[in-house]
């Protein structure tokens, strides 16, 4: 432990259970000296074990629907009261697609579900930042991070409308990040993580195949949830205070690969059978 976040205060969205990246990040932030409020939608809180995480990290929980401006205003106000001052870091680890959950193909979407998924997965990030911005709730050189996936740039057919949501999320980070940086000296970035076996990710058809393929393609192998938590801690720390408007690939090198020897060997072997 390096005390990288000693004296820093934050909000962590999306911790569900011990498999989630937000959960691992909360643990690591706590170990590095940071204090924070945990938040998730009431329905998600009933599915997970967030109370256990709060007890372990000495944190308080404020339920909030990230699509509700009223809930977010309450969250920000109460967080500053509980933590005793402005916010230094925020993790947005939220994503949901009803089309994926219900097995609707990308070419046969239920658009009401699509709109709901976009609101939860991407528009919520704008709402979170707008709430923080208007309340002047962030300290200078604070850091806001959202989690994304490379399907925002490349085709992963079964990732469905979540790919569009992630592309929108990354655009919001750049666009709002400009104003947050210019006006408040706050940095905004997205981390494009390897496919990670979380409760949310497991709902995507063929997700185990995503994970195995990426691991074979990546020279360093897939980044784990704990690896991502460590990277996020570095983004919250003062060591990265001039990094903003970036989509940061944290994927073992996958994003720069065309093909790997391991994948090619497996393909050739399958063709020769």
Active site residues: 149, 159
Which residue is it, tokens 């393609």? Answer: 217
Quote the CA–CA distance of 88 and 7 in Å, as a whole number. 9
82 annotated as ligand-binding: no
Q: Per this entry, what is the length of the chain?
A: 273
As a whole number of Å, the CA-based R_g of the chain is 19
166 known ligand binder: yes
**What DSSP line would sit under 193-209, residue for residue?**
EPP---TTGGGSTTHHH
**104 appears as a binding residue in the annotation:** no
209 is in an annotated binding site: no
Closest Cα partner for 252 from 211, 207, 206, 201?
A: 211
DSSP state of 163: H
14 annotated as ligand-binding: yes
Burial status of residue 87 (CB atoms within 10 A of its CB: 0-12, 13-18, 19 or more): buried
Sequence-distant (6+) residues with CB within 8 A of 121 are 94, 95, 96, 97, 162, 165, 166, 168, 169
- Spell 204-238 as b/e; 16+ CB within 10 A means b: beebeebbebbbbbbeebbbbbebbbbbbbebbbe
Structure tokens that stand for 153 in this block: 């740039």
3-state secondary structure of 90: strand
Q: Detail the residues annotated as belonging to a binding site.
A: 14, 20-21, 94, 166
Q: Detail the residues annotated as belonging to a binding site for NAD(+).
A: 14, 20-21, 94, 166
């Amino acid at each position: 432990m390096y005390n990288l976040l000693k004296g820093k205060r934050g909000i962590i969205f999306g911790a569900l259970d011990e498999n989630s990246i937000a959960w691992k990040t909360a643990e690591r932030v706590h170990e590095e000296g940071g204090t924070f409020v945990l938040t998730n939608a009431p329905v998600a809180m009933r599915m997970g074990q967030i109370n256990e995480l709060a007890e372990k990290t000495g944190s308080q929980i404020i339920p909030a629907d990230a699509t509700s401006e009223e809930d977010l205003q309450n969250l920000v106000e109460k967080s500053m009261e509980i933590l005793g001052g402005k916010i230094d870091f925020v993790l947005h680890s939220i994503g949901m697609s009803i089309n994926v959950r219900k097995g609707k193909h990308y070419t046969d979407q239920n658009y009401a579900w699509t709109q709901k998924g976009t609101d939860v997965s991407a528009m919520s990030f704008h709402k979170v930042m707008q709430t923080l911005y208007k309340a002047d709730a962030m300290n200078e050189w604070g850091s806001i991070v959202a989690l994304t996936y490379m399907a925002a740039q490349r085709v992963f057919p079964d990732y469905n409308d979540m790919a569009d949501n992630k592309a929108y999320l990354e655009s919001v980070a750049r666009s709002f990040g400009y104003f947050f940086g210019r006006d408040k000296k706050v940095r905004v970035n997205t981390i494009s993580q390897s496919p990670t076996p979380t409760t949310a990710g497991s709902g995507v058809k063929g997700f185990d195949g995503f994970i195995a393929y990426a691991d074979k393609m990546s020279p360093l192998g897939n980044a784990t949830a704990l690896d991502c938590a460590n990277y996020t801690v570095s983004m919250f720390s003062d060591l990265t205070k001039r990094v903003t408007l970036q989509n940061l690939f944290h994927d073992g090198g996958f994003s720069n690969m065309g093909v790997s020897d391991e994948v090619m060997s497996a393909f050739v072997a399958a063709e020769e059978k």
